[in-house]
């Protein structure tokens, strides 16, 4: 729970900093974002129907720092998320864990098209286990294990502030696995013993948002598609996120978020008993999904 409290404090500190920056910025900058904290708790005492106590807390932080002057466009995004859950007497385990950083620099080529360079970074804050409640859980992820970095140049189609389509035929993608055990196991597609896997291919990023899709409900979506043109180009990696942000009043909010992820190089791991040991066995790539629904406090700052 300490990690959640620390991230929550950091998120609200960044919100205050960004708010101050937004107030002092020139007319060329658009700075804003959202910090939210959701918490659910069930406490039972002598409850005849049975059940277990439970606690869940999630902090989300999203901010943009965008610059636009003449033909120059520079977009920056920071998107963090971390959540913990506890059921009964079990230890806390993470339920949300996300680091996403994006910087996109463009120079206007025509009314709606921009020559663009892009870099983005994706990882997580904490360790992940195949079965967190097992007596000897097997670690399957950690900070920088994996991490994904995209470096690309291409064209960005921006007909409005609410939609963009970035197309890149020249993209370098790096998968990083810093954890020694995961690296030696060849996790996330790296060669066993290596910490970095390099891929070269084509990249498509779609981003859309709509304020008041219906009254007091904001919508946003991001879709990333990558094809490794040097190896199995027909197997498209997919990272898709959809968010509905529902305003109840000035501070109370509800959020619904859906993630779909597929990477042909990330094998599904299944436990198998071999003698006296439990090991993980690869079962091929599978579609991964995650849904988050929560109610709690939200603070918006700057311009959106």
Query: In this predicted structure, what is the pLDDT of residue 257?
Result: 93
Query: pLDDT tens digits, residue range 137-146?
Result: 889 899 999 9
Query: What are 61-114's pLDDT values in tens digits?
Result: 999 999 999 999 999 999 999 999 998 888 899 999 999 999 999 999 999 999
In sequence order, the β-bridge partners of residue 202 are: 227
- Which residue ranges form the domains of the chain, and what is each CATH number? 2-302 (2.40.230)
Collect contacts of 7-10 with beta carbons under 8 A, ≥24 apart.
Answer: 7/59, 7/61, 7/80, 7/82, 7/125, 8/37, 8/59, 10/61
Whether pLDDT at 175 is above 80: yes
Q: CA–CA distance from 124 to each of 48, 77, 83, 121, 177 (Å)?
A: 41, 16, 12, 10, 12
pLDDT tens, position by position, 243-275:
999 988 888 889 999 999 999 887 665 666 666
Query: Count of CB atoms within 10 A of residue 232's CB?
Result: 11
Pairing mode of beta strands 147-160, 139-141: unpaired
Q: What SS3 state is found at 7?
A: helix
Task: Give the percent of the chain with pLDDT over 70.
Answer: 85
**Average pLDDT, whole number, for the chain?**
87
Residue 3 has pLDDT above 90, yes or no: no
CA angle 136, 260, 290 (to 5 degrees): 45
- Taking alpha carbons only, the member of 171, 121, 167 closest to residue 151 is 171
Cα-based distances in Å from 245 to 19, 41, 65, 122, 199 = 20, 21, 20, 22, 35
Predicted local distance difference test score (pLDDT) of residue 167: 98
59 pLDDT tier (thresholds 50, 70, 90): very high
Residues in contact with 20: Cβ distance below 8 Å, sequence separation at least 6, in sequence order: none
pLDDT at residue 274, rounded to an integer: 65
Average pLDDT over residues 276-300: 79
Alpha-carbon torsion, ordered 182, 184, 185, 189, to 10 deg = 80
Q: Could you tell me which of 13, 32, 36, 52 has the C-alpha nearest to residue 247? A: 36
Q: What are phi and psi of 286, to 5 degrees?
A: -140, 160
52 in helix, strand or coil?
Answer: coil
């Amino acid at each position: 729970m300490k990690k959640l409290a620390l991230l929550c404090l950091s998120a609200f500190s960044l919100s205050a900093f960004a708010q101050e920056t937004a107030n002092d910025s020139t007319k060329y900058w658009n700075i804003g974002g959202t910090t939210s904290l959701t918490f659910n708790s069930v406490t039972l005492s002598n409850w005849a129907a049975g059940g277990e106590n439970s606690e869940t807390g999630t902090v989300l932080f999203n901010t943009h720092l965008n610059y636009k002057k003449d033909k120059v466009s520079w977009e920056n995004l920071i998107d963090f998320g971390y959540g913990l859950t506890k059921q009964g007497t079990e230890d806390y385990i993470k339920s949300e864990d996300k680091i996403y950083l994006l910087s996109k620099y463009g120079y206007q080529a025509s009314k709606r098209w921009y020559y663009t360079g892009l870099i983005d970074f994706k990882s997580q804050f904490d360790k992940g286990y195949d079965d967190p409640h097992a007596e000897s859980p097997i670690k399957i992820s950690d900070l920088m294990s994996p991490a994904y970095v995209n470096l690309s140049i291409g064209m960005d189609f921006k007909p409005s502030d609410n939609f963009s389509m970035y197309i890149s035929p020249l993209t370098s993608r790096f998968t990083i696995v810093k954890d020694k055990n995961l690296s030696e196991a060849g996790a996330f597609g790296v060669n066993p013993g290596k910490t970095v896997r390099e891929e070269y291919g084509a990249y498509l990023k779609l981003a859309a948002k709509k304020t008041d899709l219906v009254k007091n409900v904001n919508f946003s979506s991001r879709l990333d598609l990558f094809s490794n043109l040097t190896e199995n180009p027909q197997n498209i990696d997919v990272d898709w996120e959809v968010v509905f942000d529902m305003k109840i009043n000035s501070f109370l909010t509800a959020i619904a978020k859906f993630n779909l992820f597929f990477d042909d190089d990330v094998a599904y791991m299944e436990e198998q008993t071999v003698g006296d040991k439990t090991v993980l066995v690869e079962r091929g790539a599978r579609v991964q999904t995650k849904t988050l629904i929560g109610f709690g406090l939200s603070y918006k700052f700057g311009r959106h």
